[in-house]
A and B are shown apart, each in its own frame.
Chain A
Amino acid sequence: MSELAISCRDLRKYYPDVKAVDGIDLEVGRGECFGLLGPNGAGKTTTIEILEGLNTPDGGDVRILGLTWRDDERELRERIGVSLQETQLGEKLSVVETLRLFRSFYRNGPHPDDLLKSLSLDEKRNARVGKLSGGQRQRLAVACALVGEPDILFLDEPTTGLDPQSRLQLWDVVEHYRRRGGTVLLTTHYMEEAERLCDRIAIVDHGQRIALGTPQELIAMLDAPHVIEFQSTPALSEADFASIPGFHGATRRSERWLLRVDSLALSVPQLLSAVEARGAKLDILSTHAATLEDLFVSLTGRELRDV
């Protein structure tokens, strides 16, 4: 039996106007939670749908649980659970009716009532899907993915548009599933979601994998652990930063500068004198420890949440 839950090599999917997936390699071990992190349009959904067997690649090799979609589709369908980015389940059906319907598609799986309890949806058992809140709907969607007791759970942007509390509840559901040994592949454009849930993350942009590692490894890829964000009038130029000790690089975001530095204690005073030396006025100054977001910015010059 293959140790890998998911593997794909040189995955490609070209549409007439865009290379949605342009040579992505992934390997996800059993029991691992793997995240595809990237902005909208990076190719995350196309990638995950190819892995789910809902889209056919133009090139590359995909193996799920050591099987292929071409030869073992029925078997794979029994063993994976999928939550698509936007599925509107029938609004006129109740929660338990929806779950019973999905349960009927699978050979094995938990009783719908037990599943509802473990997802704290049992109070809404007989409520119509149309009356549920966004968070409850999303949990029901994940329940429908879990109802066949899958070996792999695919979640495409599971918490997009949810309020913080619903997001926490959903994260609990994913962590609970992982504790029972499940493998998770999720896409997200929330770095905090990726950091909290994922063992390893692939950062994706323009259909390509631009970074891969554990959250810690990825942050360590940044040459500097701190980020200074500032804005001044008139704006400074990159040459003005050369004198700052421990300076590793700067990225300009419209009027703001993001400076990656080794030490705030050394860099901030020097930056302030540079601003003063230019006779500029400081408008904004803030600092934070480097995150995946900063890695993405340093790799691409763009922010994750940019469309």
Chain B
Amino acid sequence: MSERPTRSALWELTSVRLKEFLREPDAVFWVFCFPLLLTVALGFAFREKPPERIPIGIASNAAPQWTESLKKSPALLTRTYSVQEGREQLRRGKISLFVEGEATPVYRFDPTRPDARTARVEVDDALQGGAGRRDVLAAKEEHVQEQGSRYIDFLVPGLIGMNLMGTGMWSIGFAVVNARLRKLLKRMLATPMRKSDYLLAQFFSRLVFLVVEVSVVVTFAWVVFDVAVRGSFLTFALVCFLGGCAFAGLGLLIASRAKTLEAISGLMNVVMMPMWICSGVFFSYERFPDAVLPFIRALPLTALNDALRAVMNDGAGIAAVAPQLVNLAIWTVVTYAVGLKIFRWQ
């Protein structure tokens, strides 16, 4: 027996699959760059802006210490106008309130406008404070606009889930159908290769990319948008792993019989489209009617998104996301079992 000049078939199949993928620039773009671009675009579009300052005016002949106090207020955007000019600005709605008066301040505003009433409070507060009023009660402020409840925090887990679905299904589905089209599957069937090695290699190479893919988006979201994973890293990894498994299985199932790239593209869209819409990638699926919620929750992407959000935003542990993990595990087992059963090698 001659010395084995190569590693195991499983190793070779996996490494070949990885090399083939990396040598396909288009595929690399869609798997790694596209989700990043999407995160950037959506992240900036829905970025939380600091509360806007209320524009007000003060008459040029008013006491200079009033102007000074008003300009110190972070809630107000204060400009100086002549009396006539200021009233004109107020009438046109360019400013919410105009301060006049020489010894006593006069607040000119339209009390039916909510921003004007807010301006009234803020202006009065600033002027009284400037004139030496001390607050009797020292109140503390707690802002609820915190990490974990912003739109970007909702969005990033959804994007990770959507990405795991898209790349998982496409990369396995396309690779398998392409190999079938090129009669490569048939050629491999003519060797002693174990069929399970071929399918496992698809799966392992997928896992390698999954780690890279998820790390890239998570790191990016953390650095740029301050989106953190609050739960344990292990739980997060487990959720991603099972999500990857479920979609790899679904990709395999869809590719198990398709003979053309057109067929697989159509099938992919039929399967993925409902999940894009219903599984809460961009907005919460709770807005759908109650009657369809159980079906939506049964979808693998819904389970994955829910689990990712729970772990990333709420710091949930394994027990809390157990129902979703079980859902993903069932999808994995069923799709693999059926996919293997009906798999067409030639």
Contacts and interface: CB of A to CB of B under 8 A. Distances in A.
A89 B192 contact: no
Interface string B181-218: 01110111111110000000000000000000000000
Interface stretch (A78-86, A221-229, A253-261): A78-86
Interface in B16-60: 16, 19-20, 23-24
Interface stretch (B1-9, B81-89, B91-99): B1-9
A246 interface: no
A92 B19 contact: yes
Nearest to B346: A54
A74 B192 contact: yes
Contact of A84 (B8, B16, B190, B192): B190
Contacts of A92: 19-20, 23-24
B164 interface: no
A145 B6 CA distance: 16
A14 interface: no
A190 interface: no
A77 B6 contact: no
Contacts of A77: 190-192
Nearest to B192: A77
Interface in B141-187: 182-184, 186-187
A108 B3 CA distance: 8
Interface in B292-340: none
B20 A82 contact: no
B342 to A, nearest CB: 17
A101 B2 contact: no
A111 B5 contact: yes
A88 B191 contact: no
Contacts of B20: 90, 92-93
A107 B194 CA distance: 12
A106 B2 CA distance: 11
A88 B8 contact: no
Contacts of B7: 104
A112 B6 contact: yes
A195 interface: no
B253 interface: no
Contacts of B183: 84, 86-88
Contacts of B19: 92-93, 97
A110 interface: yes
Interface residues of A, number: 33
A86 B183 CA distance: 7
A105 B16 contact: no
Contact of A87 (B13, B16, B182): B182
Interface string A105-123: 1111111110000000000
Given A92-B24, A100-B6, A112-B6, A54 B189 contact: yes
B343 interface: no
A52 interface: yes
A103 interface: yes
A105 B5 contact: no
Contacts of B5: 100, 103, 111-113
A50 to B, nearest CB: 13
Given A93-B16, A97-B19, A100-B12, A87 B192 contact: no
A102 interface: yes
A148 interface: yes
B12 A89 contact: no
A251 B188 CA distance: 45
12 contacts: A52-B190, A54-B190, A84-B186, A87-B187, A88-B183, A90-B184, A101-B12, A102-B191, A104-B11, A108-B1, A111-B2, A111-B5
Interface of B: 1-2, 5-9, 11-13, 16, 19-20, 23-24, 182-184, 186-193, 346
For the complex of A and B, the 10 pairs showing the least CB-CB separation, nearest first, are: A77-B192, A88-B182, A82-B190, A104-B12, A92-B23, A105-B191, A105-B193, A104-B6, A87-B187, A104-B9
